Structure 1
Amino acid sequence: MSLEQGTKENPWKLKTPPQTSEYEMYKDVKDGKEIIVCTVGKTVLHYEFRCLADLHNMLKAHGDWMELGSADEQKPAKEGTVEAWGRSPDNPVGGWYGLKKGFRGRFGMYIPPLMEELGLAEVEHNPRNNRMKAK
């Protein structure tokens, strides 16, 4: 991974955990807050940048594999998954890491591959029911 990567001009080019879809992410600042911009086709999602460190810390404390459990914002997240944690009132931000109303879900789909790219986690790449753990 190069230090120049992760900018709007040179985004991280990633694949979803099942390796079926490509997308891009980069770090930006919006309203004075560091965010991750995630572009999937024509859809643009925003996540709080601090979710990377927060998720890494939670996974280290968890100590084992955790199911990703990706779900759209409108659908409930399966309990005990990365997705459920990414929207839980018990996480460090007290709710959603996703910042765009209507597009706050899919945390368990798009954040884990970036964690893997950054060397913070291992992620499975099965057709379904993938898991991750902290490195």
Structure 2
Amino acid sequence: GYSLVHRIQFGLMLLVCSQVWLAYNPIDLFWGWIGAVVVMSLAETILFPTMNVHIDRLAPKHLRGAYFGAASFYDLGFAFAPLGGGIILDHLGGYWLFIIGALLSLVVIYLYSILEKLPRPDFAALKLD
């Protein structure tokens, strides 16, 4: 019975929890790592399909393909994440890698909280020649 945005924010909070857990987990606490990864997997299980449904509902019918095309740019993250993560690991260490991940997730939670307040163009009134 929760809105899509609230479900996404809940999934993001689980992701924040897993990132902070990973940041503070002792290196030799095996079950701590397993627990954090389980929480992260649960967050991803909630987030990925819910975000796709949200994009589908957000997009005007005649621009749905463009919205999903623009949303697919997240695939670039899969390509650049190892490079960015490696640079952070090399310069700052594992603790900061997970803290930065948690902070970025908090930024996304904030962006979802202001999403409904942002103005949207009236696509019906626009003439597309």
Give the TM-score normalised by the residue count of structure 1. 0.22
As a proportion of its length, which structure holds more strand?
Answer: 1
Q: Which has the larger radius of gyration?
A: 2
Give the TM-score normalised by the residue count of structure 2. 0.22
Q: Which has the higher contact order (CA 8 A, sep 6+)?
A: 2
